[in-house]
Amino acid sequence: MNMDNLYGACSCITLQLPTAFAGEALAAVHGLRFALEIGFLFVILESDSKSVIQKLITSSEDLLEISALI
């Protein structure tokens, strides 16, 4: 990570997630909410879960386990 572009950081404690996939989705949601709360207009979201990124950019409904989180 290039620390020259670090403008904020947050951490959240979350207990009992069913899968690592759900944890990745919830981390993305927490990060985006944090960025919104402190007024960021542009955000770069990095994730190794292609499904999480695709769910965030689509408006169609699906039945994935993360649909309740995103």
Extended beta strands in the chain, E state: none
Distance CA 1, CA 16 (A): 28
Check residue 2 and give its pLDDT: 58
Vertex 50, ends 34 and 29: CA angle to 5°?
15
In tens, the pLDDT along 12-68 reads 888 888 888 888 888 888 888 999 999 988 888 787 777 777 777 777 766 565 566
Instruction: Output the CA–CA distances (angstroms, integers) from residue 68 to 26, 54, 61, 63, 64, in the order listed.
Output: 10, 15, 10, 9, 8
pTM of the model: 0.64
